[in-house]
Every structure is written in C-alpha cells, then in structure tokens.
Structure 1
Amino acid sequence: MNGVGSVVALKPAGISKSRLGALPVPLRRRLSRSMALDTLAALAAATDQLVVVGGDPELSVQLHRAGIAARLVPEPEPAGMNAALATGDRLLREQRFTRVLAAVGDLPALTAAVLEDLLVRTAELPRCFVADHTGYGTTLLIAEAGRLDPRFQGPSAQAHRMSGAVPVPDADPRLSSDVDSVEDLDAVIGLGVGAHTATLITGDRLGGYVSATVAGPGFDDADGAGALTVITDSGVRMPLAETALDPQIRFLRPGQRVHAVTDGHRLVSAWL
C-alpha cells in the first residue's frame, strides 16, 4: 500500500482566472500559471504522488523546468473540475494509495510543511475539507482513496459538509487563501508566496505590468554579457537584469518584445 496521493485539475493558463480580468491579459496568464506552479510544488513535496488533470500542452515543460514531479492526465469527457478530480482519485486508488488530497490550483502561499501538518491532523478522518477564506468555497478535500466525491465550485463548502465531509477546524490561513481577485492576492502576499508568484511581486503588491522592446545589448547564455536595456511602450528606457529573465529565455536580441513587471524603477521579472 502507498501513502497519500494528491490531485489538481488545471485549466490552460490562457483561460483560467477570468475573475482577475481587470489585469492585463499577459499578466493574468502569468500570475495564474505562477500560482499553480507554487501550489503544485507544495503538493509534490508533501505527498507521495501528484496527479495533474488538464489539457495544457505547455504544462509538462513548465513542470520539468520547475523540478516538479507529477503525472499528467488528459481531462476526461465530460469535462469539468469534479470529473477531473474524480479521475485522479480513481487513478490513485488503482495504484493502491490509501488517501487522496484534492486541491484547487491557486494557493500561492501553500507550503509542504503546512500540508504535512494538515495530513497528520486529519489522519483519522475518513473525509474532510478546508473551506476557503470566505467560507463559501473549498480549497482542499481529503478522503480515503476511492471515496473523494468532489463537489467543488459554487457553494462547495456547504456541498461538502452536506455530503458528510468534516470541516477542518482552525486551518492555517495558507490552506484557505485561494486567489480569485486582486484583493485576494494582496491578502495572500502578506502570508508569503512561493518562488514562482514572488517573481511578480514588488514590495507588498503585484508589480505593474509593461510591455517593452529590447534595445540592446543582446546576450546569450554563453557570453554572459550583462544587463539589457529595454524601452517600454510608453517610451521609458529601463534596465533589465539577466537575473530577472524567465529561465526559459536563452536568447534576446534588439527588437524582441517582452512582457514584464516593474517596481517603478526597474523591471523585476520578464518573459516572452
């Protein structure tokens, strides 16, 4: 018998987090995927196997680059979050895991240590859940393998309670702090966010989004030529340190376009 498996259902970054629609689209997509990677990193470290259900073709490469071990599974038909989580539950049961933890994908303050403590605290409960910070939704559901019965979305805290799941009392706020709005993110930043989300944070808030054009000099991994200069679409010339670049960027040349966040004086994170 194995121990605890975990499962997350993820939408492609391009269509997730629609309620963050006030943000520029490139920043909303980047934030969505960064929060997901922080969530998945914590789950992978705290459980014996992580299953990610979804249809994003870019996710496998992103997980590999982030060093996150996970089994990727296509979204089932009919689609939907609960069907996806039930698929992961079934796969983990077939692999003889004894417990399954299902989670939403937007818990950027989640840590492995907090999850491990939760699993110890709830070890004797056949089925339990953590309500989100509003008390309306659910962020985490834990059950004996094969008995997950996920009822996420909508008033899911009530739905899980009515289906017999026990609410976890006095849950660490990092377990319940999902992000559906910019205001939610402001609150979560105060708890401390994971490494991926942190690249978009300046001080105690989300950095300001800019798009920019590389002005020069260029660099590649071999020559280590140092800081780049970019010109934002509003005409401001700003430095872009190599340390602020997305690790997947291997080459930048004058004229290339980048997305970035700024603290007002410099670009702190940039991606293609």
Structure 2
Amino acid sequence: MTALEYALLIPVKDGRTAKSRLGVGDDGERAQLMAAFARDAISAAAAVPGTAVHVVGDEAALAEVLDGLEVTVLPDEGEGQLNRALSRAAERLARPDLAIAVLLADLPCLRTADLASALSDGHDRRFVADAAGTGTTLLVAPAGSTLDPRFGPGSAAAHRQSGARPLDAELASLRLDVDTTDDLEAALRFGVGVHTAKTASGRL
C-alpha cells in the first residue's frame, strides 16, 4: 500500500446559482454540468497514489454529486468565505508528515498524471495558475507548513505574493478550469471526463 503523502481538499458547492457566465441552459442544467465537472475532477484526483481526497461542502446537499465516489466530506466552516473554509478544513487534517493541497472542482479535463506531477514537483509551497494566468487551480502546502489559501479574483498574483512558487510545467489539463461557455467549448475540444461528456452532449 502506498503511504499517504497528501490530503487533497476539493471545495464543492451547490451549483444552481453559480457560474452565471456559463450560458448553457437554466440554473438546473448548469448545476448538472458543475456536478459533472466535480465528478470528473474528483475521479481523476482519487487515482493519484498516496493522495486522500476530501470534499469540503455540505454532505447532505452533495449526496447525489458524490454518489459512488470514495471521498471523505469535511464540513464547510467558512461562513460563506472559501478561503476560511479551506483553512479550517486544513486545520482539521493537519499532521506533521502530511502535505495539504487544494484543487478546484471545475476541472472537467483533469488528467491524473498532470495532478500527480504537480503534487510531486518540489517540497515548497506552490501553485498552478489557470490557462488565463490570473486564477489558481491548485495550491500545495508541504508537510508542516500553513496552507494560506488566497482564492478569488487575481488569486495567482495573490498566491505568488504570499510566497508560493508558480509551477511552469505545461500541465494543460490542470489549467483548463471552466467558467464560461468559451471555456467549456475549449475543454470539450481538449477532451473531458466521462461525466462531463455525457452531461454536455447536445447542449452546445
């Protein structure tokens, strides 16, 4: 059995009122797409050796999204603030020998190999910027360090300013987050996971 090296936090929320820039269907259809994004991202992440996936969110509300996935759910204790929720989840899991990372859930193209490469690239605090170069899709804090998440508008610059090192490797599937219809079209061209492919079929 591979020793546990990373605890990976994936925040997942009810998608019915989110992604307003994703012009695909009504609120319910967008929620279905976001659930598919999350399922594909979680499935890819769970296949990384030595990594335990923890979803941060409302377990009851996410029951259908997480059905059949072997993940632990940690409560969202952020009182509406993502970074606070992530910090508190990280505190719950803190262990001297355990690195903690945050992966966003809107990564329907995610390949296990790209995530494994990013997690193993060094022993410092580091992050992966999105394709636009302004957002962050992954933040990694080595064992014994503080996560200090700074997600939100301009998070790539914020993480860099906080001392995290940007990863320059291609990691294409780890950079293709989906916020808009154009993003979704780009993701579909690149190649998405099975859940997103099924859910998005015929909607664009």
**TM-score, with normalisation over the residues of structure 2?**
0.89
- Alpha-carbon offset, residue 112 of structure 1: 1.5
Moved more, 2-11 or 40-49: 40-49
The 3-state SS of whatever aligns with 2:102 is strand
Stretches of structure 2 lacking an aligned partner (at least 5 in a row): none
User: Which of 119, 134, 140 pairs up with 1:136?
Assistant: 134
Identify the structure with bigger relative contact order (alpha carbons < 8 Å, sequence gap 6+). Answer: 2
CA separation in 2, counterparts of 1:11 and 1:92? 20
Say whether the 8 Å CA contact 2:126–2:139 is kept in structure 1: yes
The 3-state SS of whatever aligns with 1:37 is helix
CA separation in 2, counterparts of 1:51 and 1:200? 24
The 3-state SS of whatever aligns with 2:15 is coil
Cα deviation code 1:16-55 (max 9, x no counterpart) = 3222255322221110110011111112221521111112
- The root-mean-square deviation of aligned C-alpha atoms, in Å, is 2.0
Q: Identity, % of aligned pairs?
A: 35
User: Which of 9, 28, 31 pairs up with 1:29?
Assistant: 31
Q: Which residue of 2 aligns with 1:110?
A: 110
Structure with a larger share of its residues in strand: 1
| Greater radius of gyration (CA) | 1
- Alpha-carbon offset, residue 75 of structure 1: 1.1
Find out whether 1:208 has 2:174 as its counterpart: no
Cα deviation code 1:178-236 (max 9, x no counterpart) = 0000100111112211111010244xxxx238xxxxxxxxxxxxxxxxxxxxxxxxxxx
- Alpha-carbon offset, residue 56 of structure 1: 5.5
- Alpha-carbon offset, residue 60 of structure 1: 2.8
Q: In 2 relative to 1, CA 27–77 (structure 1 residues): closer, same or farther, beyond 3 Å?
A: closer
CA separation in 1, counterparts of 2:57 and 2:97? 21
CA separation in 1, counterparts of 2:189 and 2:17? 27
- Alpha-carbon offset, residue 7 of structure 1: 0.1
Equivalent residue runs for 1:75-224 within 5 Å: 75-94=76-95, 97-120=97-120, 122=121, 124-145=122-143, 146-202=145-201, 207-208=202-203
User: Which of 59, 63, 67 pairs up with 2:62?
Assistant: 59
Q: Which residue of 2 aligns with 1:11?
A: 13
Structure with a larger share of its residues in helix: 2
**TM-score, with normalisation over the residues of structure 1?**
0.68
- Alpha-carbon offset, residue 114 of structure 1: 1.9
CA separation in 1, counterparts of 2:109 and 2:23? 21
- Alpha-carbon offset, residue 85 of structure 1: 1.4
CA separation in 1, counterparts of 2:87 and 2:100? 10
